[in-house]
Structure 1
């Protein structure tokens, strides 16, 4: 991690949790430029021997941070992260999660609560595998949107030669195992392999490296048996404990690595670094067949094994077949190539760029202009902490502003955000809070009409620009109190357009009305009669980087819908399309991620809504074509993980202001399939829009049967990134907030 962060351009301080006994690991890090190693034990910051408990470590980190505040704090370990989540480092933590429950049965209420607190306090959650990320997002919704991949990193020691190419010829097959000796790692069973292979006519020897023999309370005799086998097993050569570089040298001198484990470990959500190290060294590995391993090494990898017989068969095969050996080496090398230090640094650079945007000269210029022309009756408020005007526990904490020109020269643009429900603004708010050239404060209204007027007035007195999320009572209140020279921006959704609030809004006090689609911008102008040049379009954002995940097998036959309530979402039309498809191919399945209609009291109280859904569910139960073809998945924030199984996302609504589900599906590599609801063609390419359910079904069937699915899904992904990707939408918001006069031509250009 230290090496990857340094290579990504960070100045890194490593704080050691234990006293240095040998410089074997630490000295190479001290030699790196921009890396500082702090040893609290050597510096007299702790008075006890040995490693620090989590509570003490949290206190030490806070003390080190006080001396020179950090922009981000990378922490590994659930106990330590839990302690830090309630302290001054909250909001800047990049937490590497590994020691978490890995099955639903292990996940009790206490574990979920602790991980929720850690997620809330973390800016980024680093997950080792896609499987772990998906599991966490499902079990702990607060992790969704923050979880990013940081796979194991394999770094070969300098001067270490990899295994020469070619299969072993005319000598004993050398097997290698490095690591701890424990029952579920099958290390005792491994010691029998040379003897059993000899019975098959394969000469082999087993090299085992390590000195940690596990004491298992469930099997008190294990340690004795294991040591005896290491010391006297036929064909077993025990090298004892060695530094990592020497262990890797010994592995490189062998022909095959062993990572054969008990079937109980097949469900592990972590990836063995030892397997990747072997691949980098050119040493193929015998391992269990799991979905994760199949994804990395291919379903036809020749050295998958689950039983002792499987292991013997695989080793016998490669011992007698050089071509199979060569194939296994190639697969392992290719898989390990994704886990280099350069790849890790590139991932971190991407995360850093999004978390710490570069300052914009336009934003800084706008701040200067507001300072020049603004009438500020309460300038003393500029030193009030952000918490003084924020009561929103759901809003993410902002990280410390990075040092730089924007943070250190002049003042930043002051942006206030006000609204009762910020769920559609959350990622934009995170982004704005991260900008070094903006200072952001939130006035969170308790309900549509309920707020603390004193806090709201403080925001009026302080801000250069106020953004009202929803065109409701909040927009009316701020329009009545807006200061001269202050800009007021209102984001209007479908919900408010047909309500009474726009009639009461003083449009002359509003600088810009933001709609999420050109169609609804036109409707807004038509219904309200507001000046056309004040109504502009900035689309909804799609977190394309979070959604872009590897598809699961079979996705091309899986249709998806997100949300089926109220009835205007028209689940019945989606069922029409599904029946058409299943007449010819029963593999087509509709997955629906949604709350059920009776969970919305305001929907279920309407008789016509109840009748619609009773008819739809009765049809699902009784239709022979739909039997087994409709799956309801629970509502939740784990949309990105859910979309991995979906190949086509349906939009069958009567009307939508934007309909985010198809865009999210596109970002996740699914093909959008839409009916022609009003304005659909102003948001999505016409190639994805169809006249009726039979046309939808025909397009889906042709896409799969003609082999176009891969091509179409990549095209859709590229389209949504360019138009609605989070970075692009954040750029548009930054440009809008930086405007000082918002000239008519600029607004019209943005709308176009």
Structure 2
């Protein structure tokens, strides 16, 4: 990133009260500042306390916009927060005065409003937590709204991997746009106290909002309950936001009463973040115990991380998100149904088992170390460098943007590459998307041909033929050939004299292209397929080692039957092995299903799955879709058993997820993939897979990922394409 980027930040957040959303706003601005962005934080509410704003003043490039105090919104009262409509109008006005490169938004209502208003098309980075987080909550109306949001946003910022995968499963438009943006905590600016053991009385601490499902009212009874267990304790509570719950009208008064009068409770009120951390640092044990209704949450508690950075162990519920963060054997999970007695039992263990307390503190400290402000700034730098790449040298000296036209009937292999090209400064990109292989609007295609300095045609089909015959003098024409086109009539119809370069995805198909067409070797290049290694870099779920995967089983030359051979041999020795298949069914490809030999092949395969004792219940067919990165979290080994492939992108994508590849020796495989992954027979594949123990499997997965990143990463391949397309 060579230029200074300008960011606007706004959230449906009141920075007068300390809670997770307010801390998010503060941390996001701090991280963007560390990442080198000029950042304007726009406040939603009039300022009643400076404690969360004060740490931002004086940060490099940071401005806090106070709409009420600066009288930017006519009619806003001293206690009134901005509505989504007011926020949208104000942000558009601020952008008009000083355009931003990205608008970071938190809150579904305000994001939906800005998307509907359309002032920031393609520049919104939406941080979404207040969305459905279960299948039961994901109504069609909610899904449609999220689809509109995802389509309009540049990036979707997800707090956890679980939330990202859930969103991608239900909202395909979010695939490829969703990136991780977990909570960030500052390193304390004061020395931490030495801890030889817990204080007497034991000091428990909770910081944040007071709400029914956060169990803050039952917490106030812990000191009394612990006394019955002969443990003297006091509870320190920091915060001043008491939730007004319509379902429990008396809650607010009861909570306020408990903060004032409950035995052993010390209420410190609202405090600046640094002071809240100082109070917590003087305690022995943090409380993150919540109502079991939140156990299915796909979010991560910032408080766990804040306590962890202070070296405090935390008592909290056992949830998938917490297990991913702290491990399944973390010793201070609240057992059972997470009742008050269960919480007291976890606290008792922390007091009476020093080793459990030490291990818990170490796990929390390690987790916090992965979520510091510096780590957040590094993530932002990475996200921004991908979204705003530097201007290529070939474009630096041009007086006007280079005009790049992209044409073809199927651009699925270009998605992220096209995003990269569109984001390059000095490049103007237009697309001529043909609705079918041989169907297009000749007038639109002619307009593109006359306009473009360079035309890039995806697939050497009818579009390549048309553009080779309508090339403008002085322009350049680049055609990419995959595999199926080579045996079709189109290469013979292309005017090769008008084509400046033909790009193949593998050395094998470059040779075949030369042999089949007789085209000059000087016009044929090899650039491999790209792999978005960053999107695919996701942790495996438990049990992934015993799951094989296949992506795409149509047509029959993909040889699902040989994949079943591998599975049967593995299950003959261990019934834990399963196969997941992600693909459209063959009958959705009418041009394939109409062939009797194809129907016979799949009839035999499906019958075999139904009747083989070794395959019973062991093969799962998953829906075709773009949510491949999330799906690959479950896959430990990927099979490539095809009769022929030009590249087999699915293998490379799976390797990027740390799935261990296993290939049969289709022609050219050894020129793309390491020979160690290639085996002569399905039986040899099964033997190689079975020999990998847990550690060997992890090491093989890391090696596979490294190989793909070095050879096929999006950044590397996009650089090769930029050099080819942009150089004279």
Q: Is 1:349 the equivalent of 2:381?
A: yes
- Residues 435-484 of structure 1: CA deviation (Å, up to 9, x unaligned): 11322122222333333333322322222111011222222222112122
Partner residue, 1:321: 353
Shift of 1:101: 0.8
Q: Counterparts of 2:217 and 2:72 in 1: how far apart (Å)?
A: 44
Q: Counterparts of 2:81 and 2:429 in 1: how far apart (Å)?
A: 40
Tell whether the 8 Å contact from 1:167 to 1:326 is kept in structure 2 after alignment: no
Partner residue, 1:738: 726
Partner residue, 1:218: 247
Q: Counterparts of 1:20 and 1:438 in 2: how far apart (Å)?
A: 44
Q: Counterparts of 2:87 and 2:251 in 1: how far apart (Å)?
A: 35
Tell whether the 8 Å contact from 2:505 to 2:647 is kept in structure 1 after alignment: yes
Q: Which of 49, 59, 66 is residue 39 of structure 1 equivalent to?
A: 66
Partner residue, 1:15: 42
Q: Which of 397, 405, 421 is residue 416 of structure 1 equivalent to?
A: 405
Tell whether the 8 Å contact from 1:538 to 1:729 is kept in structure 2 after alignment: yes
Shift of 1:209: 2.5
Partner residue, 1:643: 632
Shift of 1:83: 2.1
Deviates more, 1:246-255 or 1:230-239: 230-239
Partner residue, 2:648: 659
- Residues 72-116 of structure 1: CA deviation (Å, up to 9, x unaligned): 111111122212224131111111111111111111122111111
Q: Counterparts of 1:688 and 1:157 in 2: how far apart (Å)?
A: 48
Tell whether the 8 Å contact from 2:188 to 2:310 is kept in structure 1 after alignment: no
Q: Counterparts of 2:262 and 2:55 in 1: how far apart (Å)?
A: 38
Runs of 5+ unmatched residues, structure 1: 369-409, 741-752
1:40-439 correspondence runs (5 A): 40-49=67-76, 50-86=80-116, 87-156=118-187, 158=189, 160-169=190-199, 171-306=200-335, 307=338, 308-364=340-396, 368=398, 410-439=399-428
Partner secondary structure for residue 213 of structure 1: coil
1:343-742 correspondence runs (5 A): 343-364=375-396, 368=398, 410-704=399-693, 707-740=695-728
Number of aligned residue pairs: 694
Q: Counterparts of 2:247 and 2:110 in 1: how far apart (Å)?
A: 29
- Residues 323-350 of structure 1: CA deviation (Å, up to 9, x unaligned): 3322221111111111111000101111
Shift of 1:688: 0.6
Q: Counterparts of 1:126 and 1:329 in 2: how far apart (Å)?
A: 29
Q: Counterparts of 1:571 and 1:450 in 2: how far apart (Å)?
A: 33
Tell whether the 8 Å contact from 2:547 to 2:635 is kept in structure 1 after alignment: yes
Query: What TM-score does the superposition give when structure 2 sets the normalisation length?
Result: 0.92
Tell whether the 8 Å contact from 2:299 to 2:321 is kept in structure 1 after alignment: no
Runs of 5+ unmatched residues, structure 2: 1-27
Q: Counterparts of 1:558 and 1:422 in 2: how far apart (Å)?
A: 31
- Residues 245-293 of structure 1: CA deviation (Å, up to 9, x unaligned): 3332222221111111121111101100111111111221100111221
Shift of 1:627: 1.5
Shift of 1:728: 0.8
Shift of 1:704: 2.7
Q: 1:455 to 1:599 in 2, by over 3 A?
A: closer
Partner secondary structure for residue 703 of structure 1: coil
Q: Counterparts of 1:614 and 1:452 in 2: how far apart (Å)?
A: 40
- Residues 388-425 of structure 1: CA deviation (Å, up to 9, x unaligned): xxxxxxxxxxxxxxxxxxxxxx2222211112221111
Partner residue, 1:388: none
- Residues 271-327 of structure 1: CA deviation (Å, up to 9, x unaligned): 001111111112211001112212221222111114334322222222123333222
Tell whether the 8 Å contact from 2:150 to 2:156 is kept in structure 1 after alignment: yes
Q: Counterparts of 2:43 and 2:249 in 1: how far apart (Å)?
A: 35
Q: 1:253 to 1:84 in 2, by over 3 A?
A: same
- Residues 218-251 of structure 1: CA deviation (Å, up to 9, x unaligned): 3344344434433333322333333433332222
Q: Counterparts of 1:338 and 1:84 in 2: how far apart (Å)?
A: 32
Partner secondary structure for residue 692 of structure 2: helix
Q: Counterparts of 1:457 and 1:616 in 2: how far apart (Å)?
A: 47
Tell whether the 8 Å contact from 2:332 to 2:356 is kept in structure 1 after alignment: no
Partner secondary structure for residue 295 of structure 2: helix
Shift of 1:156: 4.9
Q: Counterparts of 1:10 and 1:37 in 2: how far apart (Å)?
A: 14
Shift of 1:10: 1.1
Shift of 1:163: 4.2
Deviates more, 1:227-236 or 1:251-260: 227-236
Shift of 1:591: 1.2
Deviates more, 1:411-420 or 1:22-31: 22-31
Shift of 1:693: 0.5
RMSD over aligned Cα atoms: 1.8
Q: Counterparts of 2:393 and 2:72 in 1: how far apart (Å)?
A: 43
Tell whether the 8 Å contact from 1:653 to 1:675 is kept in structure 2 after alignment: yes
Q: Counterparts of 2:64 and 2:235 in 1: how far apart (Å)?
A: 39
Partner secondary structure for residue 104 of structure 1: coil
Partner secondary structure for residue 212 of structure 1: coil
Tell whether the 8 Å contact from 1:163 to 1:254 is kept in structure 2 after alignment: no
Q: Counterparts of 1:492 and 1:617 in 2: how far apart (Å)?
A: 33
